[in-house]
Structure 1
């Protein structure tokens, strides 16, 4: 993950535990437990789009496509001043994520 630029070593005063969680298909997923951080974070609130507005935009359209967003979370950058808050602690060391990570 370090070579891919998804995380980097950290010296952050923040630290969330790392968990390995089984997926429904039997694979495993590694994620940080950010519940305590999320509890003190002020959430951005955006209105949920109305389904009827979306349906009106599709009216008369005949060609549709889907986009598979590989590593969806990692496409969102974390503000530089908030990167230290993404730190997870592992038995090896502390890591932080410059891009969004599952659980945040």
Structure 2
């Protein structure tokens, strides 16, 4: 899996943000082996790093993908989502995009498999992306799916 070296994600907290450390959730015994394998895979790719302490932590949910593999999802909806500053960058409307494409004859299709995990998170924001698992605490060094309000810095 590659990594984008053009930019890094920066998470900005609102001024009234208070740290939140949520306890780990139980993971079904039937998927614990697969969860451990996925944690090891993410560690070996440098996407996760173990930490001994964090003021922020979110529990995980193990989701089985259609291909049978496990996706580790952090439940940041517990509190982090509520204190992140929203990204105010105006996205274009689909109608505007289609208008600009009028008359085009060459198109491409990109498969952005695990695209979130290819975008680095700046060092100052990584502590916010700590997950609490039955195997301990880990921080994401790259963007995890579902994070809102990200800003990109060079």
Class of the TM-score when normalised by the shorter of the 2 chains: 0.7 to 0.9
TM-score under structure 2 length normalisation: 0.61
Shift of 1:88: 0.3
The corresponding residue for 2:43 is: 2
Structure 1: runs of 5+ lacking an equivalent: none
Structure 2: runs of 5+ lacking an equivalent: 1-41, 148-154
Shift of 1:26: 6.8
Alignment of 1:1-104 (within 5 A): 1-10=42-51, 11-23=53-65, 25=66, 27=68, 28-35=70-77, 36-104=79-147
The answer to whether the 8 A contact 1:33-1:103 is kept is no
Quick one: structure 1 residues 63 and 26, their matched pair in 2 at CA, closer, same or farther if it must change by over 3 Å? closer
Q: Measure the CA separation in 1 of the matches of 2:101 and 2:56.
A: 45
Secondary structure at the counterpart of residue 121 of structure 2:
coil
The answer to whether the 8 A contact 1:78-1:100 is kept is yes
**CA root-mean-square deviation:** 1.6
Q: Measure the CA separation in 2 of the matches of 1:76 and 1:38.
A: 19
More strand by share: 2
Shift of 1:32: 0.5
TM-score under structure 1 length normalisation: 0.87
Q: Measure the CA separation in 1 of the matches of 2:141 and 2:112.
A: 18
Q: Measure the CA separation in 2 of the matches of 1:81 and 1:43.
A: 17
